[in-house]
Amino acid sequence: MVGPHLPALYGLACQLVGDRAEDAVQEALVKAFRKYEQLEDPGAIGAWLRTILLNHVRDTVRRDERHLDEIPVEQVDDTRSLYRRIADEDPLPYSDTLHLDFLSCFSVPDVWAVLDDLPDHYRTPLVLVHMYGVPTREAAKALDVPLNTLLSQLHRGRKRFEQSLWDYAETNDLLRERDGAAP
């Protein structure tokens, strides 16, 4: 019952605590087994395990780390979106579906590489909410911050992620490869 959820749990733990992921998952599993009777809906076991892992990480592994509230607020340019930049710079002139083709240049390892380059305080909220579908209120609780702090870090994180996607594509010649393949 738990086995199929291990890859997602481990992936989430990798993002949250890096090389301590395996220990974190194992300790969360021990907690899950102890409170197994509290699982009301067996169909929701994935979300239930995820919550246990998030609480475990918040209460133990990340306790000594810098709190999101303590990170200085960074100004981001949110007047120019990635969508607009792609339209303006038209990096794939042969494409009829420019924006979708831009995104399709990124493999899964590319997406991870872009995320890995983001500062932790941007990456973590982004990964929790947009990659693993954790509701924002649950993510705020897991990271032990007010909802507004989480939302504002999420906002900045998304802008940084968009900028980094463009920079990564340029640095790694993703667009040239794709454009070169066009007729």
Partner 1 sequence: MISCSEAVQQLWDYLENEVAEADRAAIEQHLAFCRRCCGEVEFAEELQSVLASAAEIELPRAVERRLTSALDGLDSERSQAQATDHGGTA
Closest CA to 179 of 91, 103, 100, 109: 91
- Give helix 45-56 / helix 21-34 axis angle, nearest 10°: 120
CB 78 within 8 A of CB 159: yes
CB of 33 to partner 1, least distance (A): 4
Contact between 81 and partner 1 by CB under 8 A: the answer reads yes
Contact between 36 and partner 1 by CB under 8 A: the answer reads yes
Closest CA to 108 of 116, 120, 98: 116
Contact between 11 and partner 1 by CB under 8 A: the answer reads yes
CB of 180 to partner 1, least distance (A): 22
Closest CA to 53 of 111, 11, 3, 97: 11
Contact between 18 and partner 1 by CB under 8 A: the answer reads no
Q: Which of residues 85-144 bind partner 1 (CB under 8 A)?
A: 87, 99-100, 103, 106, 108, 111-112, 115, 126, 129-133, 136
Q: What residues contact residue 166 under an 8 Å CB cut-off, 6+ apart?
A: 82, 85, 86
Contact between 53 and partner 1 by CB under 8 A: the answer reads no
Residues at the site binding partner 1, with contacts judged by CB under 8 A: 2-3, 6-8, 10-12, 14, 22, 25-26, 29-30, 33, 36, 78-79, 81-84, 87, 99-100, 103, 106, 108, 111-112, 115, 126, 129-133, 136, 151, 154-155, 158, 162
